[in-house]
Each structure stands twice: as structure tokens, then as C-alpha cells.
Chain A
């Protein structure tokens, strides 16, 4: 957990100053020199500053999260290069993990950006970047699958189980029986 987050997020609080305008407190008039409006204003400016900082921080974080798959992509690429182009246990494992990770990440794209959700923060572009990068990663996995020859992209993959065509004519015979 980040330290800043700990400071900012309170667990609980009791407000002793009852500045509400309920019927129970309306009977008691404000003390002299007390201006309700100024306090409100002051309070709101502080929180606004804080909120801005938080939003900034959230946006920054969201961008960071969105860029995270890029590193992953590089590593995957290296691993794939290492695995080679022949079908064996290692290359199949890597390819499948390369396919699985982006799919998983794409499925949980909402969850990843949940903490940074804010009315002021624009999470759409980081989200799009995140999705794009993951799609690239997925494409890399598919490309790897194809180089391994495990994708049915050739005619041979589709006709290999076609039964022989039936023949219209039938003939029999041969040498006379002895």
C-alpha cells in the first residue's frame, strides 16, 4: 500500500460541529462573530486541493497501470524467441501463457481501473491503451501459435478429415474363379 493513500483515506470520523440546518439546532442561534459561510468555504478549498492531488495521482497511476503490459510484452517476446519454432512442451506452455495472460487481463480490465475511478480522472484513454497493449500481446501469442503451426489457417487443416468422394459406378469381376 502506498503511504499517501493511508493518510488520505480515513477509517472513520465523528463530526462534533453540527453545521447542519436541522430543526433541532435551528433554535440555538450562532455565536457572535461566527460565520458559517466562511468556514464552509475554507473547508471546501482545502478538500478541493486534496481532491485535485488525488485525481492527479490517480490519473498518473492509471497511466502506469495501462502501460504495464508493455513490459510484459517485451518479456513474452524474449521468451518466445527463446522457445523456438518447434512444437514441444516448453514452447506450447509459453505460447499458451502468452495467450492466457492478455485474455485474463482484458476480462478484468474494469477491475484493474476500479481504484482510479473518479469523476475528474479520465480513465478511458489509459483503458484503451491497456486494451490495445493487451491485444498486441494476444496477437503476439496468436502469431506464435501460427508459427508453431497450430492454427488452422491452411486448406490442409480443413480437408484432412474429408472422407473420399463416393463413386457413382460400381464394377466387379476379375480373373474367372478357379
Chain B
């Protein structure tokens, strides 16, 4: 065994010396990786069609992305992903060439160049109190050629020049009032130097302001109080009339504010709409003379007649979506309305002053898996025959974006994939007689042609055209996109849950969507007002007994925002993409614990812990109950309460004390708790080992045939605490008052295995546990650099097992089950290194048998994934390793971890908004599949110790074949010749 290992070591060393870099060759990009770019759910849309040879649309999204899309194909021209807390509040267009965005709670105003997306200027807006954000670009104001921008945020009104972003004047409006002010509208009548601002504060005072547009001088300020108070949105029916709802939501308030004179006029909603029930809401349409009102069951359009009277124009039943108003022609405004009729959607365009006729009426077939239309944005264009055409950009319930034009879907983008919540993988079906793969199989002639081309490439006889053909052939090799399981385990299904509550199955070969399912149980309904998806778990992975069953997953969600909201469970078949069943639970879900047992149909047992600390067992069958009863004494759970800085361990006790007896519910009792002193320590990060991690061996052979035993436990919890002051971002504390303490805790007994303090360090901490080691990343304030530390845990109680004969005869207890209560003697080895990057997320490679050496996958701040060999994070590194240690592969100690540019897994690409990295073992021991997700998705496979167990993809089989044939021919020829010669010798 040892010899084989050493020989393989020798071979790998040989490989290393032959080929020093891990990087890809240029022509290998895209062979085993794919990269998809998304933008997220669209919030704001700005069309720009002027001078447009290339028609584009600029959108901003919930994922804080600003992107310019091609209107013909939906491709991204340019895209910027802003930081996680830079929410884009408002977007507009200025000067016809800049996109203006107001972000970060109304404090940052930026202008982006339309054609290439470069940032032209940026202004920081000052302000004191958080308030509603508002942005308005004055198109009609001519001051030279400048368009003035009015931005309201944090209680201040700013007038900003659109050319260079200079703040021309600034007015603290909140100073003039006592409570927070919300500006509803800023406008400027044509050919006037006066700017009007309208808003209300404290939900009862209505304000109008008049400013000098050039100087910002306050000309007039008038206030009027309305006793009923205001709530929600407002709608401007004309330049001087505003419609709002009162605080109770039962009255419509018409406010006219001609020349600083404010008049209120109330109307009962139920007077206008007799059968109205529930709370109404005003839709922020900007149509002249029309107010749109949304109630629980319908949408009502009201027209203003005679100054202060409203009448119902039309009532539309739900579900519907409306667009903003579009200036269509002189004084006319158009708006779009989308209704669902069965599986089709109906797009209707109406003019605000001519209600009876529709400008456009189209009906389009829609995929039911996309859900309801949530937002509509319309735009007009001039057709070749000089008439107006309309296009509509719609945002659907699953966050996908679609362009409708002339009754057709021009393109559609699956932008829900920009907000992935959780990912898991599943094997594809086995290749069977019944499973059709004929579609991707090609005929013999093509196969031969391909191999001849490849051979030409190998022998360097290929022309440039051939090379292109070879490359294209490699790229869309049918092998990788088949819908069946492959021998190496590279082809899998990636099951992705998005924030919209939609499940996608992506094929790992080319990243295409195999099926998608908008989970009915996670859609808004009467019973469940704010459903949210939380996590997905592998529910049933068919193995030996249940081979004919399809695999299924469990989707855990909850009905509401709080942690005590009742839970939702949904089971989905992974091959058909259909929901098998779903349950609305009576209890909440605080934690889900997959247990290491399965029932006879390979369904995994899960414990769902509710907010009250009770454990609920699933699936609910008697068989499962029997399995669980026998394991009950050895099942524990722990909870980390980050707000209270307490970690508690619990044991399962007996059945719950509820009104009705529930055999599947267990009460728990607290066994231990660790209370951190809240004045000096605050939990900021925890980490545990991955449940499905495979460890090959418990022994580690070090130099001179010595052996140490790793402490491998699944019940290990890493906790990092910092000084409460150092909780914030870098730079908020001095090194003296900041520290970072890391703990390793056994979650069964609550025993603290190890505690270490890093003085002068602070978070954020990213940590990862694998096998017997922990790696974590933090900021060192004294050195002003990021650091990474490693802790390796060894079992000292086994260290004395050194006798070969004892081991040979099996007289040792190395493989007998261990209990945490036996208090193993552990020793820690630790080392720290500087690291250049700040880290967004970390993962570690995992392989099928756990033999291959490990690499850390580090998601850097630049949204790339860096592979770092675990050998660099080895506490046994010294400055001058001995010969034996060098042979073992110990690298001489350096103060910083090297960043080798070739070891970026994402090569030249960026996974914008990187949030997580998932590693999945392939069947081939050397290979790990890596899926990185954020706004973008990226998939590749890596081999941490190179592919020692397979030939590389570019291996020329044809050359091998030809060599073998030539050799056999040569053998025959020489044999015949030698026979002849022998015969001649004999006759002589």
C-alpha cells in the first residue's frame, strides 16, 4: 500500500515537474466551464431611442445592477454591479446621453454614459435623516444646455448640474418642519424660473415650496394641516391637483395647491366604488385627470371632473399590472395594462383622455411557470410606415424579463437566476433503453470526420479553418450535454432555488435550464401572504433498494417574514420537475437538521426545530418513527443565538405536551450553554463541517514514517467573536480595543476544545472546517492587512498506537465508534499568514473518496474564485524544512500566502456579486465540480492534484490508434522477413 502510494507520489511529482502551472490554455476556455450573466429583478427602466441606430434600454434591478440591454436580443451591452448596500432608489435620463441614478438611501448621485456605461460623475449628497428618495430631471429648463437634476434624499433637496454633477444649491427642508418630510413631486412649469416642490410630513401636514431654480432661494412656503392624515402613494392628476389616501385608507383626498393656496376635498371610496372591501391603495400612475385605485379584488380608474369630483371610469378585475404613463403625442399620455386570461396575457394600451378606444390590444401565450406579470414598462417607436408602434417590457413573478412587440415575445431573460438562495445537486437518470439520447448522438461519418480533424490538429497539418472547426467541435461536444449519467460523474443537475420561489434545474454540461418550476406553495395566496423560500434539502436520493424511484428534494419555506411564521414544505420530483406534494405546517421552522438515517424508500429523516424549541420529525410514517426512536438518545441539537451571544446544546426528550398528541413531535431539554460576556465578545461567525464530506483516513503520515491521528468529528463548531466595537467595518476601532477570539466547541457536550485570541484583529470573519482543520480569514489592525489562520486538530489519545503487530492483528480501537463523552485528548497546531484580498466567501474542494489533496476556493472581493492549495496553510511549515519534510511536500514558511494568477478558477471572468461557492465531488476521484453563484453563475470542474486518474481531454486517441496499428504492421513485416531469411539459411 505504502509503496503504491509512494509510486503515485512519484508520478505526481513527475507531472508537477513536467507541467508547473494549473492554468488553462486559451483554447480550453469554455470546454468544461460556463458562465451566465444576469441582472436580477428589474425595478426601473429608461428607454432611449433618440438617434438610435442601436436600440437599447437601461434598467436597474433589485440586485443593485445597472445594465444596458439590447432591445433586439436582450443581450447585455454593459453592466455595473453596485455594492450590497447601494440600493438604487431612482433612475432617470439627462441630456439624452447620461443615465442618472440615485442610490444608497438617497446619498449618492451618479451619471453613467449611455453608450459605454462609463461613470461620468458622482456626487455625494449630504443629509441627516433617512427619508423618502426622489429624483427628478428637468427637461425643459434651459440654462445654457444644462438640465437641472433635483434629488431629494435624507431630508434635503439638491439641485445638481447634469453636466458635471456639481451641487448648485442645497436646501435642508427638514429644518423647516418638525418631522420627517416626504417630497412627492418636484416640478417646474415651462418657461419659468420657479421650482415647485410638494410633500407632506408627519402624515398630516401638507407643504408646498417655491424655489428660485437658479439660486435655490425659498420664495414661498405654505403649510396646511389635514386632520385625517395621509398614507401611502400619491397620484398627480394635474400640475396642481394631487390625490391621496387618508390615514385610514377609506377616504380619497383631493388636494389642490394653486399658488400656495391649499385646499382639501374628501371623498368616501365606498361612495365611488360600492362593493369595495379591504384597504385600497393608489397606483402611482401619472395620467392627466385619472386616478388608479387598487383594492383587494380589483383595480378602479377614477376620472376627475369639474375640479373636485371623481367618477368611476372602469373597473378591472385582478390580476393586473399597469405601466407608468408614456408621453405619446401632444398632451396625450398612454399607459399599458396587462391582464391574465387563462394561460394568455392581454396587453392593452389606453390613452388617458380617450378611455373608450384602445390604442393597442394584443394577446400573448405565456408560460404558466413564469407566474403573473408584476411590472410593465412601455415605449413607443416609429415604424417604417411612419405610424407608432409600441413595445412593452414586462417583469414577471419569477423575476424574468420579457420584451413584447407586435403580439410576440421578442426575447425573454431568466433573471430570477441572479438571486439564488440555495443550491444542491442531483445525479441524472441512468442510461437505459427507454431513455432517448438519439437527439445528440451523431453518425459514424461525422465521428470519423471529427477524429480525422483532431488528428490533423495533433500532427500540425490543420489549416486555420480546420482549427476553428476543431474548436467549435470541442465546444459543443454532445457528450457533455446529454441527459444521462456519465461514467465520470461530470454530468449532473444543479437544483437552484431563487428568491422568487422558483426552482431551476440546470445541466452542468452547458448550463441550460432543463426544467423550472414556480413553486405553487411559495406563491402569494390568501393563506400565505408573504411566502419566502429558505433552503432546499435532498429528500430522497435513490440508491440500491429504491432504484426505480425518482430523486426528490425538500423545499423549506415560511409564510411570513418573522422567524415564528408558520412553515411551508414542498416536495419536488427532480426528473419531472413537478411538485409531488406540499404542506402548510402548523409550526414554525427555525432550523432543519437532516439526520444520517434513511427509511426503506431512501427518504432521509429530517428534524425540523420550531421557534419554541420543539423538534418535529419528517417524513411522518411509523417506520420512520421506529428508526428514530432507537436513535433518539444519541441525537442532539444546538442553537446559536447571535443577538444574545449564547450557544445552547439540547437533547431530545420525549413527546411534546400539546393539546393533541403528536407522536412525531419531541420536546427538548437544555444540556449546556456557553454564554459569552456580551460587553467584550460578540458572535460574528460560525462554521461547521459539511454533512456530506468524505474523509479517507484518520491517520496522517508525517516525515520519518511517523503517524499522527486526526481528530475528525462531525460535531465540531467553530465560533468567532469580536469586541463589540470592532463589529463594524474596518477603520472603526483602534488595535488596542479590538480583538478576535475563536473557539472550537464540541456540540454534544459543549466542551470548548480550543480557544485562541487574536489581539488587534477584527472581522468580518470567513471560516471553513474540513476534515480536522479550520481555516479562517480576518483583518489584522496592527499589520493593516488581512490574515488567514489555520488550526489543525490532532487526537493525542491515539498517538501511542505505534506497534505494527498490534495494528496487523487488529488489536487496536482505531475503528471502534467513539463518543464525545469520552473526552478525547486533542492538541492544536496553528499558524497565521498574511493574505492580500478581502474575502467574500470561502469553500473547500470535496472529492468522492477524500483521497485527493484539498484546495481552498476563495471568493475574492473582485468577484473571482481563487484556488489556494491547502499545503500553503499547514501549521507544520517552517522557514527551513528538513529534507524529510521537503519530501513530504512541506513548503518553506513565508509570511504571506502567494496568489498565483494562473490559479484563478474563474480565469478571466468575474462572477459579479459573488455570494456562494458550492463544491460537489465527481465520480472521478481527482475531480471536483465547482459552482459559484451571485448575480452571475459560473460552473467549472477542477482537479486539485491534476487529473491523475484519467487522460486529458485533448489526448489524441487517433494518434495512439495509428501508432498501435503501425507497430502491429511492423511486427508482421519483420516476422515475415525473418521467416524468409531463416528458410534461406536452412537451404544454404
Residues in chain A within 8 A of chain B (CB atoms) = 87-88, 149-150, 152-178
Contact = CB atoms under 8 A, between A and B. Distances in A.
A156 B706 contact: yes
B1 A177 contact: no
A164 B6 contact: no
B299 interface: no
Contacts of A166: 815, 817-818
CB-based closest 6 A-B pairs: A172-B593, A154-B705, A171-B636, A156-B707, A157-B2, A159-B699
Contacts of A87: 6, 10
B816 A165 contact: yes
A148 to B, nearest CB: 9
Contacts of B595: 170, 172
Contact of B686 (A156, A159, A161, A174): A174
Contact of A165 (B535, B747, B815): B815
A172 B695 contact: no
A87 B4 CA distance: 12
Nearest to B887: A86
Contact of A170 (B636, B642, B701, B818): B636
B712 interface: yes
Contacts of B706: 156
Given A164-B712, A165-B818, A167-B715, A173 B637 contact: yes
B6 A167 contact: no
26 contacts: A150-B3, A152-B2, A154-B707, A156-B2, A156-B699, A156-B707, A158-B804, A159-B697, A159-B707, A160-B2, A162-B699, A163-B696, A163-B697, A164-B698, A165-B818, A167-B818, A167-B820, A168-B820, A169-B748, A171-B747, A172-B591, A173-B593, A173-B637, A173-B640, A174-B717, A177-B590
User: Secondary structure at chain B's binding surface: helix, strand, loop or mixed?
Assistant: mixed
Contact of B747 (A159, A163, A173): A173
Given A87-B6, A170-B595, A177-B590, A165 B807 contact: no
B20 interface: no
A178 B640 CA distance: 13
B640 A174 contact: yes
A9 B714 CA distance: 82
B260 interface: no
B576 to A, nearest CB: 28
A171 B701 contact: no
A170 B594 CA distance: 10
B307 interface: no
Contacts of B593: 172-173
Contacts of A173: 591, 593, 609, 637-640, 747
Nearest to A159: B699
Interface in B516-545: 534-535
Interface string B707-741: 10110111101000000000000000000000000
Contact of A156 (B639, B701, B820): B701
Nearest to B609: A173
Nearest to B707: A156
A164 B712 CA distance: 7
B589 A165 contact: no
A170 B807 CA distance: 28
A86 to B, nearest CB: 8
Interface string B591-605: 111111000000000
Contact of A175 (B10, B635, B642, B705): B642
A96 to B, nearest CB: 11
A93 to B, nearest CB: 13
A36 B425 CA distance: 106
A120 to B, nearest CB: 45
Contact of B695 (A88, A164, A168, A176): A164
B763 interface: no
B607 interface: yes
A160 B699 contact: yes
Nearest to B819: A168
A161 B1 contact: yes
B705 A156 contact: yes
Contacts of B634: 168-170
Interface in B563-587: 563
A170 B652 CA distance: 11
Given A150-B2, A165-B814, A155 B638 contact: no
Contacts of B642: 175
A175 B747 CA distance: 13
Given A155-B803, A168-B819, A172-B637, A178 B534 contact: yes
Contacts of A168: 634, 817-820
B556 interface: yes
A173 B745 CA distance: 13
A157 B649 CA distance: 39
B176 interface: no
A165 B707 contact: no
Contacts of A163: 695-698, 815
A71 B592 CA distance: 75
Contacts of A149: 2, 6, 705
Contact of A169 (B804, B815, B819): B819
B945 interface: no
A83 to B, nearest CB: 15
B688 to A, nearest CB: 6
Contacts of B594: 172
B5 interface: yes
Contact of A155 (B686, B710, B807): B807
A17 B478 CA distance: 94
Contacts of A169: 634-636, 715, 748, 819-821
A167 B815 CA distance: 10
